Structure 1
Amino acid sequence: MRTNLTFSISFFVRKKKNSAELALLYSRITVNGWSKEISLKHDLPLNKWNQPAGKMLGNGAKSQLVNRKIETTRTGLYKAYEDLFKEQRIITADTVKDRYLGNDVTNHTLVYLLDYHNGKMKNVLKYGTLKNYTTTSKYLKDYLKIKHKSLDIYLKQIDYGFTLGFEGFLREKPSLHNNGVMKHMERFKKLMRLALHLEWIEKNPTLRFKLRFDKVDMVYLDRQELERILDKEFEQGTLKVTRDIFVFACYTGLAYADVKALKQDHLRTGIDGGKWIYMRRRKTDTQVRIPLLEEAQIILERYRTHPKVDNQEILLPVYSNQKTNQYLREIAEAVNLGKRLSFHAARHTFATTVTLANGVPIETVSKLLGHHKISTTQIYARVVDTKISNDINALRIKLKT
Structure 2
Amino acid sequence: MSNQVTVYMYARAAKANKVGLHPIYVRITIQGKRTEFSTKKFITPAKWDPKTMKMKGTTEEARSINSYLESIKNKLTQTQIVLEYQGTELTLEKFMCAYLGKNMLRERTLIPIFQDHNNKIKALIGIDYSEGTHERYETSLKHTIEYIKFQYGTNDISISKIDHAFVTGYDFYLRTEKSCNNNTTVKYIKNFTKNKKILFKSSLTKSKISDNHFFYNYYKTNSCKLDQQFFMRLQHDFFLPNDKIIIDIDKRYTTPSVYIFANVEALEMTRHYLKKKDQIASFKANSYKIQNF
TM-score, length basis structure 2: 0.40
Task: Tell me: higher relative CO, structure 1 or 2? Use CA pairs within 8 A at least 6 residues apart.
Answer: 2
Q: Please state which structure has a larger fraction of its residues in helix.
A: 2
